[in-house]
Amino acid sequence: MLIRLDPDSAEPLFAQLASAVRGAIARGDVDTGERLPPARDLAESLGLNVHTVLRGYQVLRDEGLVDLRRGRGAVVTAGAVDGQAALRQGLVDLVTHARRLGLSADELVGLIRTEYR
Amino acid sequence: MNNARPPRSQQSQVVRIALAAGALPLAVAGVGAVAVWSWRDDLPSRVATRWGADGANGFSTPASVGWLLLGTGLLVAAAGLALALLARDEPALARAVSGTAAGTSGFATALVVASVERQRGIADSAVTTLPGWMVGSALVAASVCAAVAVWLVPPRSATPSTADAERFRLPISATERVVWTRSVATAGVPTVILVAGIGVTAVVGMATGTWVLVVVAALLAALVALMISIRVTVDRDGLAITGRFGWPRQHTPLREVHRADVAMVRPIRDFGGYGYRIAALGPLRGASGFVLRGGPALVVERVDGRRMVVVVDDAATAAGLLNVLVEQDVSR
């Protein structure tokens, strides 16, 4: 998985980290039961404080995407992958349906944006 | 440790290979043969040279032991020399062959010499035994010989390829904090074979009471556990490959990386098997690295000409990131 953090962004680094991991799980870069890198190693690679990484991992734990276990580290839960898989499936269904109705990608995106508000 | 050095002449490389793969194994065996020969007056007329589960069951005269040792050394040196010279354009391979030849000769010599030395001054060789520690110390001797041979043949200091065509690149800004990391596990079939082999060794050892086998099985199991899965990481420190439990650890700093690419690896065809390998033939000849399974692999060409390989998913992103980080590396 690829993690890119922008220190100049308004979003705090731990939140960016959590987003990056969330995206990796969604894309299937990490699988159920896989361990994320140890917080210490990830902090060293990214030039961050260990606590920043831990905070990011805790966000993911609170969302139910990873389990934090002593000695094992952060492990991706089945729910995480299933949840993302369900989303991906919903997406496929959505796009299929939209195509049938003759919607362009941009039009569909517009509808999605409206729904988000 | 290995920075770019001025190009070494072909001739000097051949001489070094001849020393490491030919002269060294032969010399080691020769020393052993001379030692055995020098003890001939102390030894019984027949010395034990083979042991089974119930003691010594093979005997030879001291003279034959000496000749056998010399003959073995000659054979190993000849084979080692031939193979190493064939591989003289691929230093990684030449080093591996030289180390194997020297190590083999060292092991055989150390074991024979130690077991014969033990029989000096005794009347009846039928009651001698081969203690386990002798095998251990022979392994140590073998490692030392192998290390000397490998040291004699330096890695190539070639000018790396200047082809800039189609480098993988991942656009990263210099201020971004970035890391790419993946874990790779050994392919299913080789794992099953490994585990089965270790299990059989352990069971046979326990059933026959040959505890050396059980110890070997335990050592193998530990090795397998260390290498069964690895983590590959690319960041601004370079490329790091670590075993599941933190060891072994191979780190290549950015300044030692020339370029990164992707290649498709077929373990048996390109590397002759699975695990930590060196390629002897094929398009990846001379490259060494972690081939835990087949598929896309990150291939790193180092500044000193060596090529490193690690089979891992999404190698293209890793290569792209590594190339860009190398570009941005200010210490160059």
Q: Which has more confidence, B48 or B311? A: B311
Give the one of B172, B179, B314 whose C-beta lies nearest to A46's C-beta: B179
Select the residue from A19, A41, A44 to test the B interface by mutation, using most B Cβ atoms within 10 A: A41
**Is residue A11 within 8 angstroms of chain B, CB to CB?**
no
Note the pLDDT tens digit of each residue in B240-256: 999 888 778 899 999 99
Count contacts between A and B (CB, < 8 Å).
53
**Is residue A37 within 8 angstroms of chain B, CB to CB?**
yes
Largest CA distance in chain A: 53
Choice among A12-21, B5-14, B86-95, B111-120 with the minimum mean pLDDT: B5-14
Average pLDDT, chain B: 86
Note the pLDDT tens digit of each residue in B140-164: 999 999 999 999 988 765 545 555 5
As separate numbers, helices (DSSP H) first and strands (DSSP E) second, chain B gives 8, 11
With CB atoms and an 8 Å threshold, state whether A42 touches B180.
no
With CB atoms and an 8 Å threshold, state whether A4 touches B231.
no
Select the residue from B178, B179, B247 to test the A interface by mutation, using most A Cβ atoms within 10 A: B179
* Residue in B closest to A16 by C-alpha: B177
Is residue B3 pLDDT above 70, yes or no?
Answer: no
With CB atoms and an 8 Å threshold, state whether B172 touches A4.
yes
Query: Tokens 């890198």 identify what position?
Result: A37
* Residue in A closest to B236 by C-alpha: A45
Instruction: Note the pLDDT of residue B8.
Output: 55
Chain B residues 219-238 with a CB less than 8 Å from chain A: 231, 233, 235-237
Is residue A113 pLDDT above 70, yes or no?
Answer: yes
Dihedral over alpha carbons B326, B327, B328, B332 (to 10 degrees)? 70
Give the one of A3, A13, A34 whose C-beta lies nearest to B179's C-beta: A3
With CB atoms and an 8 Å threshold, state whether A47 touches B181.
no
Give the residue-averaged pLDDT of B275-293: 86
Q: Which has more confidence, A82 or A11? A: A11
Give the residue-averaged pLDDT of A30-54: 93
Give the one of A7, A8, A42 whose C-beta lies nearest to B179's C-beta: A42
Give the residue-averaged pLDDT of B106-120: 91
Q: How confident is the model at residue A51 (pLDDT cuts 50, 70, 90)?
A: very high
Is residue B215 pLDDT above 50, yes or no?
Answer: yes
Instruction: Note the pLDDT of residue B161.
Output: 53
The span from the CA of B89 to the CA of B87, in Å, is 5
Instruction: Note the pLDDT of residue B248.
Output: 81
Instruction: Note the pLDDT of residue B5.
Output: 44
Q: Name every residue whose Cβ is closer than 8 Å to that of residue B237 and which is 6 or more positions away in sequence.
A: A44, A45, B251, B253, B254
Is residue B20 pLDDT above 60, yes or no?
Answer: yes
Angle, helices B62-86/B10-17, rounded to nearest 10 degrees: 160
**Chain B residues closer than 8 Å to A29 by CB:** 182, 314
Q: b/e for B129-163, b at 16 or more Cβ within 10 A?
A: ebeeebbeebeebbeebbebbbebbbbbbbebeee
**Is residue A3 within 8 angstroms of chain B, CB to CB?**
yes
Give the residue-averaged pLDDT of B278-282: 81
Which residue from B42, B40, B41 is spatially nearest to B63, judged by alpha carbons? B40
Interface ipTM: 0.79
Query: Which of left, alpha, beta for A64 (phi over 0: left; psi -120 to 50: alpha)?
Result: left
Task: Annotate B280-330 with three-state secondary structure.
Answer: CCCCCCCCEEEECCCEEEEEEEECCCCEEEEECCCHHHHHHHHHHHHHHCC
Give the residue-averaged pLDDT of B118-122: 84
The span from the CA of B81 to the CA of B87, in Å, is 10
Note the pLDDT tens digit of each residue in B29-66: 999 999 998 988 888 888 888 887 777 788 888 889 99
Q: Are A24 and A4 in contact (CB under 8 A)?
A: no
Is residue B128 pLDDT above 90, yes or no?
Answer: no
Percent of chain B surpassing pLDDT 90: 43
